[in-house]
Structure formats: structure tokens, C-alpha cells
Amino acid sequence: MEIRLKERSEIEEKYKWDLSIMYKDDMEWNNDFDKLRNDMQEFSKYKGVLGNSSSDLLLALQEKDNLNRRFEKLASYAMRKSDEDTRDMDGAKLKNMIFSLGAEFVEISSFFDPEIISIGRNKIEQFIDEKEALMTYCHYLENIIRFKEHTLSLEEEKIMANASEVLSAPSKIFTMLNNADIKFENIKDEDGNVVELTNGNYSKYISSHDRNVRKDTFKVLYKGYKGLKNTFTEVLIGDIKAHYFESKNRKFYSPLEMSLFNNNIDIKIYYNVIKVVNMNLNKMHKYVKMKKDLLGLEELHMYDFYVALIKEYDIEYTYDEALNLVFKALTPLGEEYIKNTKEAFDKRWVDVYENRGKRTGAYSSFGYDTPPYILLNYNGKLHSVSTIAHELGHSLHSYYSALKQPYIYHEYSIFVAEVASNVNEVLLNMYMIDNAKNRQEKMSLINDFLESVKGSIYRQTMFAEFEKKIYELEKDKKPLTEQAFSDLYYELNKKYYGEDIISDEEIRYEWMRIPHFYYQFYVYQYATGLATAFFIANNIYNGDIAFRDKYIKFLSSGSSDYPVELLKILGVDMKNEKTMQCILDYFDTQIEEFLKLAKEK
């Protein structure tokens, strides 16, 4: 018996997101696209006049917001349409059109920031005193002025804008390679059924309790990547060099500095994450040894690492069961939060199941005039239930920010992007542990928390260290090659997971399938996000109503201040190593609790 993926047309409508909320069809989208493209050309009329008066500055800022809002809506539709089925050339066409239009508007508006900087802080403050409506833009304008030493001349900014589409090409090539073009051999599931292996169903089969299934899954997947190792290498090299090109021309010391500067993040925070996690690798090694011992394996391999330790409670949840669990777990966040959460499902903002050609993984989009759509590839495992809670965290963060902030501040910083999502996951885990029916279920849920720390803190920090080191290769003028990348990744894998697991040769190629290496120093924020979320969730779960209200205020703050400052609403100081150490110490106590339960009869 062969199990095949469904085509999108075979999926029930109620499990597919409703894009008609934005546009009834592609024709309506194209009409809006043409109108926006024409209107964008008119924005150049503000060139050279921003400093004439407070009225001119205000009109320009408002028009820029208007154009960006319309673009955001068009982009949301195009991206969602393309992600439904990456094989669909109509969807790909819309996405390419919106990428091109975005680059075009970057070029048209490239005069804006340099001109704001040339006006100067004193005159900007004078304009704000004259025109009360400009008060809304205080933080935004201050942030532009902060970039003074990294902003180029008008002609140079135009050149950089023209180059933006070319510089983003490696990321787009990787996406097509990883989501649409790479193919894997078939495997057999636990029942002997022939299954087409995909990036989407990999997580299901690599966690199988049948060791032969997960071994075959592991080897088949990385055989596919190894076959394209030269292509993936050149794509990543292109991305590294693109970021060095930009950082050098913008007078940053490195792409890392440039990336963190965007959100006014102290570079020490990045280094501290790696430092603190490296200081606590003994805890991960302890977890690995526990897993090896409890699985009863003479040799623990990388393909054994994702199997649940408690088989009795490795159960599958229907989608409705998953939603009920999530709603109950998020109850401590208050009635209003739950009401807003249910709206996502009632109004079909969620795309639930995998279909042929659908983008892998999961995400939540943002939008000021559009719903914060959620893409899932739901497979019934507890991890998939957690993913629902996770993406809802993102979506409610977007929802509250759009509800409470003006357009200019509705997007929240990448640095705090993983906080709300992880708060929801931690709350789900706490709720399920407290309501565990017996010892085995409690062990399963504790293990789920341990896996979360392993994935979001240890694994993502390993990625962050790998990314730091591959960029240092370029800085030090060392060759960027597949062997250099693979050797480096292999050694980091051994360091992070220790001697009680065999780092199989195939794991050398894992870096090829990680999309976050194209997001430029993003991954460390999964670690800071979970550490912060643990602190927040613990307070909320224990019934601190005042703290919960502060949290909703935080969710509603968007980008109205720098992210490190916004976290201070919650009493979190990210320069303090204790925030990260706190969850790692709790990780250690939970390992001990799990071992204690395992010894009980």
C-alpha cells in the first residue's frame, strides 16, 4: 500500500486559509498592484522637500505609511498564495512581482532616510514642537538619525537599492531548492507502507519508534542533500558574500554588527548566549546520556535523538483535540486573549495540513490590514500541537500590536519575535504536566520540555555559533568550501552533544537544510526568546494578574521602542546572564525529575 500526499484541491475548505479576506481573486490583486505601482512613482515628489516645513515632513511620512500598508497587503496575498503550492507558477509569478515591486520602492524611496539625517536632530525636534501629529513619529525619526554614520550618499543609497534584489537572490534560490526542487527516495513506514519522504513529513518519521524507519529516514534525507552539496555550498557562499558586501559599504565592522544594529542590540548579548550555553554543555551531555540509557541502546546515533522516550504516550491528537488543549492551556492569559485566539480559527486564518508542493514548516505572518495568517503542516504529534500554540503566540503578538499601535510601529522587532510564541508553548507544557493522568504521561511531558530546551536553546545556539564561525572564515580570508562548512558543522555537533552519541557522517550535511542561515544572525533569538518566555510564563501560570496585564501591554507595544527597552516592561534585562542561566538550571532539575520518575515502579 502506497501513501501519497493529497493535492491541495483534495483538502477540505475549512482546513485552508481564506485569502479572499484580502482579495477575491488574482485579477483584483493585479488591479491593486498596478495602482500601487503607479502611486509609488509619485512618492519621488517628496525628494528634497522633507526639510522645508513640518507640514511637508508629516505629509511625506503619512504617504510612506499609506504606500507601505498597501504593499504589505499585496505581499501577504502573494506570499500565502505561493506557499500553498510552490509548484504553482501563478503563485510564483505574484511572489516575484511583489519582490520586484518591493525593490523598486526601496529604490524610489532611497532618498528618504539620508534626507531625514541631513535635516538634523535639532530641526526635526523643532518640527515636532510645531506639529503635534509628528509626535507619533518621534521614535521612528530618532531611529533613522541613529543610522547617520551608516547611511550613504543619495547616489550610493540608490546603488544599494538597485542591488537589493540581486543580493537577496541566494536566499530565494535556497527556498526553491529546499521546498520545491530537492527530491528524496521513498521509505517504508512502521507498517511497511511505501512513503514519499519530504521535508514536511521528515519530523514524523525521524521520531518513529521503529529504529529501522528512523535510520532509513535519516540516511535517505541526507543522501538527497549530499547529492546537491556543491549547489547548496555555492548558494550559502553567495549569501555570506552579499552580507559582507552590504556591511562593508555601510561601514560596519561585520555583518553580525550590522544585523544587531538594526534593532539596537548590544553585540555582547549574542556572545553571551554562546558563552552561557557553552558553560552549560554538561547539562546537554547529561540529557544525551540519559536518553541513551533509557532507550537501552548500546550505541546512540543521531537518528535516535528525536524519538520520544515514553512510547505509551506518544499518541496522536486530532486537530480538534489539539485546539481544545491549546485553548485550555492559554486560559491564564485571560478571556480576551482566548476570544481573540479563537477568531483565527473561526475566520479561517489557518492553513492546516500538508499538501503536494506546500511550503514546509510553519509560520505566522503579520499584517496591519490583513489577518496574521498561520501556515501549519499538522501531523497529529504533540510537536504539532505545540506548533499551533507557538504560531498563535506570534499571531496574537501581531494582532495586539496592530490593534494598539499606529502603522509605523505595528511590526515587532525580530529580537522579541520568539517571546510570545514560546510563552504559549511553555504554558501548554505546564498545563499538560499539571493535568497529567499518571507517571508515564508526566514523564512524557517533562521530556517534551527537555526537548524544547534542547531544540530552542542548545541546537539554535549551535546554529548561532556555526553562523558566527562561517562568517569569520570570510573575514579571515579563509576558503569557503563545502568541506570547510561540513567539517565545522560536524565538530560543533560533537561538542554540543558529547561523547554518548555517535555523530554519524550524514550529520555533516545538516547545515544545507537550515533556512535560518539565510536570515542573517537570527537563530540566537530562539534561545533568548525561550529563556525570556520561561520567565514570563512562570509568572502568568502562577496567577500573577498584574504581570499578565504587563505582558498584554508588552504584546501591544509593537516597535514603539527598542526591543531591549520593551522587555523592561516585564523586568527582563537581556544583558544579564542570569536570564539564560535560569532556564538552563531548570532544565537540569527536570532531567533529575525525569530520572527519578523513571526509577519508580
| DSSP string for 297-323 | -SS-BGGGTTS-S-GGG-----HHHHH
Kindly list the distances between the CA atom of residue 305 and the CA atoms of 266, 293, 347, 489, 495, in Å, as whole numbers in the listed order.
Answer: 34, 12, 38, 17, 15
Residue corresponding to grid cell 564561525: 469
The torsion angles phi and psi of 301, rounded to 5 degrees, stand at: -105, 165
The model's pTM: 0.79
Name residues whose C-beta falls within 8 Å of residue 462's C-beta, 6 or more positions apart in sequence: 492, 493, 496
- Identify the bridge partners of residue 6 per DSSP, sorted by sequence position: none
Q: Would you tell me how many other CB atoms lie within 10 Å of the CB of residue 311? A: 11
> What b/e readout covers 446-481, taking b as 16+ CB neighbours within 10 angstroms?
bbbbbbbbbebbbbbbbbbbbbbebbebbeeeeebe
Instruction: State the chain's mean pLDDT as an integer.
Output: 93
Per-residue pLDDT, averaged over 435-451, amounts to 88
**Residue 314 confidence (pLDDT):** 67
Q: What angle do CA 218, 221, 224 make, to 5 degrees?
A: 145
Name residues whose C-beta falls within 8 Å of residue 222's C-beta, 6 or more positions apart in sequence: 506, 507, 509, 510
CB 246 within 8 A of CB 255: yes
Cα distance between residue 472 and residue 484, in whole Å = 12
**Residue 1 confidence (pLDDT):** 47
Per-residue pLDDT, averaged over 468-489, amounts to 96
Name residues whose C-beta falls within 8 Å of residue 495's C-beta, 6 or more positions apart in sequence: 281
Question: What percentage of residues in the chain have a pLDDT greater than 90?
Answer: 81
User: Residue type at 307?
Assistant: V
**DSSP string spanning 406-468?**
-GGG-SPPGGGHHHHHHHHHHHHHHHHHHT-SSHHHHHHHHHHHHHHHIIIIIIHHHHHHHHH
Q: Could you tell me the three cell numbers for 170?
A: 541566494
H helices within 454-523, ranges in order? Answer: 460-475, 482-497
User: Residue type at 33?
Assistant: F
Answer whether residue 238 shows pLDDT above 50: yes
Cα distance between residue 274 and residue 399, in whole Å = 32
Closest Cα partner for 351 from 381, 382, 319? 319
State pLDDT tens for residues 92-129.
999 999 999 999 999 899 899 989 999 999 999 999 99
Instruction: Place 371 in a pLDDT band, splitting at 50, 70 and 90.
Output: very high
**Residue 11 confidence (pLDDT):** 93
> Which CATH topology does 2-167 take?
Butyryl-CoA Dehydrogenase, subunit A; domain 3 (1.20.140)
Out of 391, 451, 506, 510, the active site residue is 391
State pLDDT tens for residues 312-356.
666 889 999 999 999 999 999 999 999 999 999 999 999 999 999
Domain segments of the chain: what residues? 2-167
**Annotation says 391 is catalytic:** yes
